[in-house]
Amino acid sequence: MAVAQQVGTVKKNYLQALNEALREEMARNEDLLLLGEDIGILGGAFGVTEGLQEEFGGHRVYDMPISEAAIVGVAVGAALNGKTVMAEMQFIDFISCGFDQIVNMMATYHYRTAGEVNIPVVVRGPAGGYGGGALYHSQMNEAWFCHSPGLKVVCPSTPYDAKGLMKAALRDGNPVIFYEIKELYRLNSIAEELPEEDYTVPLGKAAIRRSGKDLTFVTYGNNVYHCLEAAEVLFKEHGIDAEVIDIRSLVPLDEETIYTSLGKTNRVVVVNEAPMTCGFAGEIVARITNNAFDLLDAPPLRVTRLDTPVPWAKPLESFVLPGVDKIVAAGLRVARF
């Protein structure tokens, strides 16, 4: 459903785009190191780093012990010594094991040194549900890090953005938490032709995936495709023309694009895969009501995961997570208010 934004020569899926980004940045920046569990010989649990150790050597692509705290700690130490580091979490769920190093060390160095020290580290890993991974392999915990000053947080939904945002994150000079949607890794229906020339996607700039005039969906990650499908249902069955905004970057957040859309539609539904309580959808709704309340003709709504771990059984997983039917129902409610 996503529309390719550039024309190149070879279609790449989401996973290939990430691998290509890392390969190109390794060649461009000799100080870039990759750290993670099984990322060398194995090429990562999903293959994101496949072939990189063979190409660039074990002195730049390190197979690390099974300790996320150690991986992030070594990444911070290397960054303090002039390196740029990509630290992989084999599943983003286990980023919690490195939480102290991320929020108390990595996020604070720039502030603690009055701006003298930058920490160019990207912590990335596969995230999200819909694949039957159950409670330890289905999380979206991005709100933890959005709440921690000093960190940038991104979540691409397309191969073009996966490559462009990864390259931008590795060049940013600040710590970035990079959420990859594992259900999109090998989804050929969203494969895109990527430019041959070097490009980046700027952090802090949203993308409009579908234009509309009656209702705005604000979302990111896998839910972009659910919102696009819901928008088609709303248009074909109810004549409601919905705009879909993919924020791509949570921190920094492109509020201007959201408010510009609300200036047209005056109605909004915010969708995210994480639990509702203290989730990022609530943050977006709060900013809208604080800064653009006069643009609203109806109360804003959220569609999120229920406040429960993700079950393994597919019917229960579908019940817990946001889906097209739930998004359509929320859109109808807001549009008819």
CATH of the domain at 271: 3.40.50.920
CATH of the domain at 70: 3.40.50.970
> In this structure, are 138 and 257 located in the same domain?
no
The whole-number pLDDT of residue 9 equals 66
Helix (H) or strand (E) holding 205: none
Residue 189 lies in a domain: yes
> In this structure, are 271 and 136 located in the same domain?
no
Residue 310 lies in a domain: yes
Helices (H), 81-186: 99-100, 109-112, 142-146, 159-172
End-to-end CA distance of the chain: 28
> What separation in angstroms does the CA of 117 have from each of 58, 79, 87, 96, 113?
27, 9, 19, 25, 6
> In this structure, are 331 and 247 located in the same domain?
yes
DSSP 267: -
**Catalytic, out of 110, 137, 147, 226:** 137
Residue 127 lies in a domain: yes
> Residues 146, 250: contact at Cβ < 8 Å?
yes
Residue 81 lies in a domain: yes
Q: How many structural domains are present in the chain?
A: 2
> What separation in angstroms does the CA of 60 have from each of 76, 152, 287?
15, 24, 42
Residue with tokens 């109808």: 332
Helix (H) or strand (E) holding 236: helix 223-238
Residue 151 lies in a domain: yes
> In this structure, are 190 and 222 located in the same domain?
no
Residue 269 lies in a domain: yes
Residue 1 lies in a domain: no
The whole-number pLDDT of residue 7 equals 47
The residue among 127, 159, 194 that closes a domain is 194
Per-residue pLDDT of the chain (337 residues; tens, 9 = 90+): 444 444 446 899 999 999 999 999 999 999 999 999 999 999 999 999 999 999 999 999 999 999 999 999 999 999 999 999 999 999 999 999 999 999 999 999 999 999 999 999 999 999 999 999 999 999 999 999 999 999 999 999 999 999 999 999 999 999 999 999 999 999 999 999 999 999 999 999 999 999 999 999 999 999 999 999 999 999 999 999 999 999 999 999 999 999 999 999 999 999 999 999 999 999 999 999 999 999 999 999 999 999 999 999 999 999 999 999 999 999 999 999 8
C-alpha 233/C-alpha 217 separation (Å) is 13
- 63-71: long-range contacts (C-beta < 8 A, 24 or more apart)? 63/36, 63/37, 63/38, 63/39, 64/35, 64/36, 64/37, 64/39, 65/37, 66/37, 67/97, 68/94, 68/95, 68/96, 68/97, 68/98, 69/97, 69/98, 69/100, 69/101, 71/35, 71/36, 71/37, 71/98
- 77-80: long-range contacts (C-beta < 8 A, 24 or more apart)? 78/33, 78/35, 79/118, 79/119, 79/120, 79/121, 80/109, 80/117, 80/119
Neighbours of 113 (CB within 10 A): 11
> In this structure, are 236 and 189 located in the same domain?
no
> In this structure, are 36 and 66 located in the same domain?
yes
> In this structure, are 187 and 234 located in the same domain?
no
> In this structure, are 23 and 171 located in the same domain?
yes
> Residues 274, 222: contact at Cβ < 8 Å?
no
The whole-number pLDDT of residue 10 equals 81
Backbone angles phi, psi at 61, to 5 degrees: -120, 105
- Per the annotation, the verdict on 238 as an active-site residue is no
> In this structure, are 184 and 42 located in the same domain?
yes
The residue among 136, 164, 194 that closes a domain is 194
The residue among 171, 194, 217 that closes a domain is 194
The whole-number pLDDT of residue 8 equals 44
> In this structure, are 311 and 184 located in the same domain?
no
The whole-number pLDDT of residue 2 equals 41
> In this structure, are 233 and 142 located in the same domain?
no
Residue 85 lies in a domain: yes
Find the farthest-apart pair of alpha carbons in the chain and give their distance in angstroms, rounded.
60
> In this structure, are 211 and 140 located in the same domain?
no
DSSP 294: G
Write out the residue range of the structural domain in which residue 280 sits: 207-335
C-alpha 118/C-alpha 77 separation (Å) is 12
C-alpha 201/C-alpha 178 separation (Å) is 13
Residue 187, burial from CB neighbour count under 10 angstroms (0-12, 13-18, 19+): middle
Backbone angles phi, psi at 269, to 5 degrees: -125, 130
